[in-house]
Structure 1
Amino acid sequence: MAFFRKQKNKATRGELAEQQARTFLQQQGLHYVAANIKGPGGEIDLIMREQQTLIFVEVRLRSNVNYSSAAESVNASKQHKLIKTAAWYLQQQKLTDEIPCRFDVVALSTLDGSQPPLWIVDAFGTA
Structure 2
Amino acid sequence: MTTKADGDAAEDRALAHLQGQGLRLLARNYRTPGRGGGEIDLVMRDRDGTLVFVEVRKRGSRSFGGAAASVGATKQRRIVFAARHFLLRLREPPPCRFDVISMEGGGIQWMRAAFDAG
With the shorter chain as reference, the TM-score category is 0.7 to 0.9
1:38-58 Cα offsets, whole Å, 9 max, x none, are 115221000111131100000
Q: Give, in whole Å, the separation in 2 of the partners of 1:85 and 1:15.
A: 19
Match of 1:88 in 2: 85
In the alignment, the residues of structure 1 paired with residue 49 and residue 80 of structure 2 have an alpha-carbon distance, to the nearest angstrom, of 19
Distance 1:95 1:61, change over 3 A: farther
Give, in angstroms, the shift of residue 125 of structure 1. Answer: 4.2
Q: TM-score, normalised by structure 2?
A: 0.88
- Which one has a bigger Cα radius of gyration? 1
TM-score w.r.t. the length of structure 1 is 0.82
Name the CA shift for 1:95/1:65 in 2 (closer, same or farther; >3 Å): farther
1:124 aligned to 2:100? no
The match for 1:18 among 11, 17, 24 is 11
Q: Identify the residue that residue 107 of structure 1 maps to in structure 2.
A: 102
Q: After the TM superposition, which segments of 4 or more aligned residues of structure 1 sit over 3 Å from their partners?
A: none
Partner AA of 2:90 in structure 1: K
Q: Which runs of 5+ in 2 are unaligned?
A: none
Q: Please give the alpha-carbon distance, in whole angstroms, between the structure 2 residues aligned to 1:73 and 1:95.
A: 33
Question: Aligned partners of 1:125, 1:36: CA distance in 2, in Å?
Answer: 20
More strand by share: 2
Distance 1:44 1:11, change over 3 A: same
The percentage of aligned residue pairs carrying the same residue is 41
What's the counterpart of residue 74 of structure 1? 71
- 1:68 is paired with a residue whose SS is helix
Gaps of 5+ in 1: 1-7
- Offset at residue 94 of structure 1 (A): 2.8
Shift of 1:83: 0.3
Task: Determine helix, strand or coil for the equivalent of 1:18.
Answer: helix
